[in-house]
Amino acid sequence: MSLSYRQPGVVLTDRHFTVPLDHADPGGETIELYARAAVARDKAGQDLPWLVYLQGGPGFGANRFIGRQAWLDRALKDYRVLLLDQRGTGRSTPATRQTLPLRGTPAEQAEYLTRFRADAIVRDCEAIRPELTGGAPWTVLGQSFGGFCTVSYLSLAPEGLATAVITGGLPSLDAHADDVYRAAYPRIERKVTTHYARYPQDVERARRIADHLLTHDVVLPNGYRFTVEAFQSLGLMLGMSDGSHRLHYLLEDAFVRTPGGLDLSDAFQEEVQALLSYAGHPLYALVHEAIYGQGLRPTAWAAERMRAEFPQFDAAKALAGDTPVLFTGETVHPWMFDTDPALRPLRETAELLAARTDWQPLYDPARLAVNEVPVAAAIYHDDMYVDSAHSVHTARAIRGLRTWVTDEFEHDGLRTGAPRVLDRLLALAHDEA
């Protein structure tokens, strides 16, 4: 039974669905999906079209809005909105260090996780769409990885779509993970350089922290082994609109004087462990590189291997000279499965996924070339997480896609620029702008 309840200006309904684990085997094992349906309180009785939201990630549940926050306010003017917890996330059947052992061996866990990519998410949407819309196509809004899923949707089941809107999530159709990360490190370096130009005092602060971590064994309160590489990975924040400022405030309170000398403060360590831990979203670490897997080449820890091509990211070398310590970005590395207690039990599973050589294609260039679904995409000019050159190339390969290329926003433009971003993209898709 569906449960409905109210928040300011909106009526919410909990929805639960049962779908096949493997859509190629509809009579086989099933998993559960959870979604939260939202409709404006003054339109709850109206027959409105549906918009399904696909969250970024992979590995994150849909936004938990309070009332009509952010882009949801704009969407509710025209649609009923389905906030879907993609398989393995949120209140859908979870995939974590606690639940994956139920699958059996690491090899069986890895096999299970191959069914948690964009193609399966699209098939989930198609499985639940008839129950909600009566068979009518719906609009999809894909943010970041949700945009990757949307391009898969246009490839695999365009008949299910009335309109497609993508923000910061146009993937390369054919790039290997090596290509993705080889393009990523120069973008990351630019973001770090911009941060240090804004906050030059952080150059020395970062060097002091890196030096401390290279000369001390630091274990955070939750058991996380805080290495210099883990410290550098805090640069993930720099791709968001407020990330540079948040990183600055984090660094300025790093040390406290103790009877034994300067040490990393409890407050700093507490904040760092919240930023670094994958306990709430382990699927992100497990399948992040797998979202680029297509064909026979393994992803093989591409971000780690490509980092070796950019020696300026070596913190020890930076400290031996007079160059700034560079942060890194949205990259997953094998050492994370040693440092993070939430990932340690899954190390062998992750290794097997990295070595896999039978990934199915996620996109259909021939079908995209004759696309008839109205589609619009925001491309953020120097997006830290998704290469804008790759996105522009893909935009040209999707028939009828209209782009909005802008440097006004970072990767979180849908959140910070709402409702303007969604309003503009819907206008572009509907040929009203």
35-56 pLDDT, tens digit per residue, is 999 999 999 999 999 999 999 9
Domains in the chain, number: 2
411 is catalytic: yes
- CB of 292 within 8 A of CB of 175? yes
197 in the same domain as 330: yes
Percent of the chain with pLDDT over 70: 100
Q: Does residue 235 surpass a pLDDT of 80?
A: yes
Q: CATH number, domain at 74?
A: 3.40.50.1820
Tokens of 142: 């894909």
pLDDT at site 1: 58
Q: Is 73 exposed, middle or buried (0-12, 13-18, 19+ CB in 10 A)?
A: middle
Query: What is the C-alpha separation between 426 and 335, in angstroms, rounded?
Result: 42
Query: What is the C-alpha separation between 334 and 305, in angstroms, rounded?
Result: 10
Percent of the chain with pLDDT over 90: 98
Amino acid letter for position 35: A
- By residue range, what is the domain housing residue 37? 3-174+363-429
349 in the same domain as 386: no
The one catalytic residue among 47, 217, 322, 358: 358
Query: What is the C-alpha separation between 220 and 427, in angstroms, rounded?
Result: 48
168 in the same domain as 197: no
132 in the same domain as 203: no
304 in the same domain as 276: yes
Helix/strand/coil for 109: helix
Which stretches within 355-418 are classed as H helix?
A: 365-369, 388-397, 413-416
387 in the same domain as 344: no
194 in the same domain as 170: no
Q: What is the helix (H) or strand (E) element at residue 247, kind and residue range?
A: helix 243-252
The one catalytic residue among 92, 144, 155, 391: 144
Q: What is the mean pLDDT of residues 90-111?
A: 97
Q: pLDDT band at residue 418, thresholds of 50, 70 and 90?
A: confident
**Of 354, 382, 416, which residue sits at a domain end?**
354
Q: What is the mean pLDDT of residues 67-71?
A: 95
Q: pLDDT band at residue 433, thresholds of 50, 70 and 90?
A: confident
Phi first, then psi: give them for residue 9, nearest 5 degrees: 80, 5
Tokens of 113: 């996780």
265 in the same domain as 126: no
140 in the same domain as 126: yes
The end-to-end CA distance of the chain, in Å, is 42
164 in the same domain as 190: no
At 332-376, the pLDDT tens digits run 999 999 999 999 999 999 999 999 999 999 999 999 999 999 999
- CB of 141 within 8 A of CB of 54? yes
**Of 323, 354, 385, which residue sits at a domain end?**
354
111 in the same domain as 234: no
144 is catalytic: yes
pLDDT at site 318: 98
358 is catalytic: yes
